[in-house]
A and B are shown apart, each in its own frame.
Chain A
């Protein structure tokens, strides 16, 4: 059964990453997921892709939007509209503008890495947590990945895991299935410490 074998391969990936990114398991998710997806799609510059998310993390244009665009963004998304109903009704642009840079990057632009980094909060529709956590978590991700990225073992491990998962039939699974599998492994009995956000 491909699913079980893929799961085992991903579990080995989590173990490998835990040696290279100790006690930061929430960062495993986007990295491992990216490596697997790109291995399936036979993208060979996965290394540049993983590093490049930092380059476009906080684009300047996010702070340049007119008030109506910001309001429309919150109104136009059902879940955001519900969460920020009071601010929208009051036309509280100070509050909405404060939340906009984080939420527009994660939800408006659908940045793959950021969506993975905040998967737990998005699934729980806890958008205020995304806003509160955004600066600290992205800064931490950037800091944590830097030393690991300088270590060739990190990239070798990722490549091995991605290729192994791909060869075992990762492509037969839905994206969501793979994501849930990795999250379960990270939260599971791998013994990586309390590093995933408690609400995940």
Chain B
């Protein structure tokens, strides 16, 4: 009589543990996906909170029932939080458990962490070299996005001090890299935003405006970048409008009015988030 009771209890226990493990992993995945959605919707703080929860849940799953999938989710969330060392360790673990891309992702996470450390120490040249290497060789999107953003910011912060010829050459190299990234992943709003920044430096306001519109439509990784993109878009729009012949100006004004309506702006130059 007691044997069947023990057997049933054991089955219930195993079931409960499996469900609990499954719950951790599925919760981790859900939090990670929520974070991605929130980041795309410019809800940065909420995205950060979701990724932190994803790390916690995936961590619990990794302790209870280590699997390539659990370590991969953990590593992805850590990557989004800029926790490079932890991400590298998670991807290596995922690789050892059968996730083939884990080793390459671990190496990209390690390189990103190294570049970030160089940058923090003010060593911009080696940081730029590493970001360039990631952009040339990596297929890991989170590392590519970080490297593209960091490299663009470092290059643009330097161009103000360059002589005109060197500035043109440097910006041409940067836009070539960004063009390549956009060709590979046209739907990534961040690449269009970065292109718009470089175009503004080149004085190509039309391209800058178009890229900023595209970036807004495709979504950006943080609220601050979204707001900066809006400011850049309005800056280009106003200057472009002033410089165009009447017919083209009217077409641009009509187009911008249409976008402004779609985005819920107060008028053609005032995003909804602006207080004044």
Contacts and interface: CB of A to CB of B under 8 A. Distances in A.
> Among the interface residues B45, B160, B224, B274, which one has the most CB atoms of the partner chain A within 10 A?
B45
A39 B228 CA distance: 28
B182 interface: no
A70 to B, nearest CB: 10
Contacts, number: 65
The B interface is mostly helix, strand or loop, or mixed, namely helix
Interface stretch (A5-13, A53-61, A82-90, A189-197): A53-61
B197 A61 contact: yes
Interface residues of A, number: 23
Q: How large is the interface on B (under 10, 10 to 19, 20 to 34, 35 or more residues)?
A: 20 to 34
Contacts of A48: 45-46, 48-49, 52
A33 B49 CA distance: 20
Interface in A36-64: 45, 48-49, 52-53, 55-56, 59-61, 63-64
B44 A52 contact: yes
Interface stretch (A21-29, A105-113, A166-174): A105-113
B46 A45 contact: yes
A59 B228 contact: yes
A62 to B, nearest CB: 8
B222 interface: yes
A149 to B, nearest CB: 14
A195 B239 CA distance: 44
Given A61-B225, A65-B200, A66-B201, 6 more contacts: A56-B224, A60-B153, A60-B157, A61-B197, A110-B274, A111-B224
Interface of B: 44-46, 48-49, 52, 149-150, 152-154, 156-157, 160, 197, 200-201, 222-225, 227-228, 231-232, 235, 238-239, 273-275
23 contacts: A48-B52, A49-B49, A52-B45, A52-B49, A55-B48, A59-B225, A60-B150, A60-B153, A60-B154, A60-B157, A61-B228, A63-B153, A64-B197, A65-B200, A66-B160, A66-B200, A66-B201, A69-B200, A72-B235, A72-B239, A109-B224, A110-B227, A110-B273
Interface of A: 45, 48-49, 52-53, 55-56, 59-61, 63-69, 72-73, 108-111
